[in-house]
Structure 1
């Protein structure tokens, strides 16, 4: 069913749904467009509408070949919408779900494109704040790049900033944005978890996490309860991925540094990645398995069950459901220092060889116990066999002729009569 969006656009069909709104295939004066219609509760927030209008010039001025351009911002009654270029293709999450992991050359080519987009945005003073595979679109009509990668475009600029801003409570007071976290847990930089204002470096951390995920098939600190995911970002060190050149690994480590100042700028990251492309040609996808899910403590209350397990998807608010397209851009309070101090759920996820189990996991312990039992059984069989042989030798010795005695301790022979 078609619906009017403002006076210039018509939305025809839904392309996808997310936590911030719904994306429609639309038509405008200049042809097909994508229309992101924000949720009604957001559209009814007058302060948010005001920020929406203030961001108009910054968003409309962001033009780059690897950015999905915002053509218009519509405020009309209950409708609050971003009108964007329509990209003929799919998102990176869909490709990752289909292929599980990408060859290093293709993964690096895609991430280099996104780094170019971030460099342009950061130069214009815009921080994306929600870089993840769902927000990277692959242009299937564009020319193929290194490793057969389609051109990558970054979308959803401005949505995080619009939602994550101070708001006035019913008493007229303003809530501080640092009292809660906006974003997707697997890709959140440590400084966001600690409640610091997000700068350009948070996008570099998130993009390096995306690159890790494209190579490994899972994120370095994801898995388990969302509180554990946030804690790992702050306290744990990323575990090396086997099978990639050392130069690429060191680049990823630098961009995943806990200190924002230690990370590369987007423009530097793009140049470094493209320099590495020649040495990655022909390297197949890595042969590693996803780590076992961290065990939940017995007293931990389980979140609402999700009928389909999806990588990189955990609701930040316990009991809430994830969105159908894995867009988990929601909010939660900033954890306290005691909650970030580590503990049983604060261990990093260790990549393991194909077919193996993560050391310390339930499956690894069960396998260790099984091997130990087999070893003990084998030892018991050897012991029983040894005892049997000893008994047989002892019984054989009872019937044999006794050995001749020497003359030192024997009685003298009696003369013959």
Structure 2
């Protein structure tokens, strides 16, 4: 009888370890599975994904049935080893000690560590398969799990913990950017850049892409007709603001093509422009680019004048400016803007002070701070807290600079040298 029962006991022990390993597999795979991938599979109609989603919707019940099964099986395995040791060596204390150590090692190796490593490596396959077993087990043992969770909930209330408020898997914009950048094998480099720019679009405002007022080409309706005609024939833009007397008095926006259609062989006059001009479209300073993109779409506009808190317009933003923030440069800029950067023989670069810092960083690969002033001129003025003179050198964010020209209380031209290696800052 003893010879027959010993093999059965050993087989039962092995079976208990295997079943315990299944619960360990299930626990780790359920916690490690990609929730977004799971949602995608569930939407496609995958039954295992739907069952897994339902199980994860009540984590306390899921963990309750897994740990209940795991601990029962481990306890049964330890008891079974004690029975085997007692049948073979009576009540030998040394044999019991060796048996305890042996079953502990067996549980750790075969029922805990190895299954968890496997589950962490293949969480999706294991979790979706395990859901078919765990779902009926949860229904069978629900009364026991519910009773155990009463004590668990009581302890959580005692410690003032509310886990259900923290179970939603939300992802921040920065985490989403990291997720996109790490998906290098699935998303092309260019597509990654577009997606990251889209994420940033909500944090970037119109002030970051604005064309400063000093760089805007506009038409004065009070100018001579010949001057208006000549300016239109030589302009580099398709849309131009119209003003009377001074730039603060903007009265409209014209599309140059429509103006040419009105010519009929004659000269362009102020009266011609007034016939085809549209009402100016104003944008409050600080408007997020994504919101402005939607507003352009809703209002069927392609250009807007940015106004500050005092109602004075400080520049303009076009639809193309926003699109370039998403997909990069694609328009052909007029010749007046091609001289923004001039490479010098010594490796330095001559830059206009009015350039936007975001453009400078994007086009030249710099890392100048953009959380303060929007232009290079503003960054330098903030650094000195004064209007510097030509010939003064400075270092901002590791980039040595030299002021070449100042005019009208602004820095006009700056020479930027290659960035220095990062070292300990010194006076």
TM-score, reference length from structure 1:
0.23
Q: Which has the larger radius of gyration?
A: 2
Query: What TM-score do the two structures reach when normalised by structure 2?
Result: 0.23
Return the structure number with greater relative CO, CA threshold 8 A, min gap 6: 1
